[in-house]
Amino acid sequence: MDKDRIAVGGDSAGGALAASCTHWCKDHHILLCFQLLIYPVIDKRMKTDTAIRYKYGPLWNSSMSKKMWELYLRDGITDKEEYASPILAKDFGGLPPAFIEISEFDSLYDEGKNYAQVLREFNIPVELSEIRGGFHGFDILQNTELTKYAISNRCKALFHVFHES
């Protein structure tokens, strides 16, 4: 294992854990080379336009996110907020470059877009991949052109990190 080329990634709640991991690693002086966040859950406040618009939708929606946050934060946040809700961090400097994929009809669309914007404000390189026509978890439909397109983009991002940098 090359300790200088470790990346984290995940989708949905896994994206939240991956993003949170980047903050924890930064705080503990562990260098990560990349983060791959697929329609990540980033913001416990759930006040974005798409969170309000997609309160009820297929596979995942903001009503489900609300319940998820209640279960996840059952005892409240006992440490740094960004370890649970990454967008609440005060300092994003030193985080690894990111690939963030968001889906057009997803209650989490704005969360991913906002996170990309904040990272960019701290000069973190970000590739934001907006999946037009996608919804949260669209890639469960494995043989669609949309899923093939998204997976190809993800693989290209990882290939670039591990083979071209």
Select which of 11, 23, 136, 139 is catalytic. Answer: 136
Select which of 11, 106, 110, 139 is catalytic. Answer: 106
Question: Residue 19: enclosing H or E segment and its boundaries?
Answer: helix 13-27
Select which of 12, 65, 103, 107 is catalytic. Answer: 12
Token pair in block for residue 144? 């669609």
- Count the residues in the chain: 165
136 counts as catalytic: yes
In 3D space, the residue among 71, 125, 129 whose CA is nearest the CA of residue 100 turns out to be: 129
Please state, in angstroms and rounded to a whole number, the distance separating the CA atoms of residues 60 and 12. Answer: 9
Residue 85, number of CB atoms within 10 A of its CB: 23
106 counts as catalytic: yes
Active site residues: 12, 106, 136
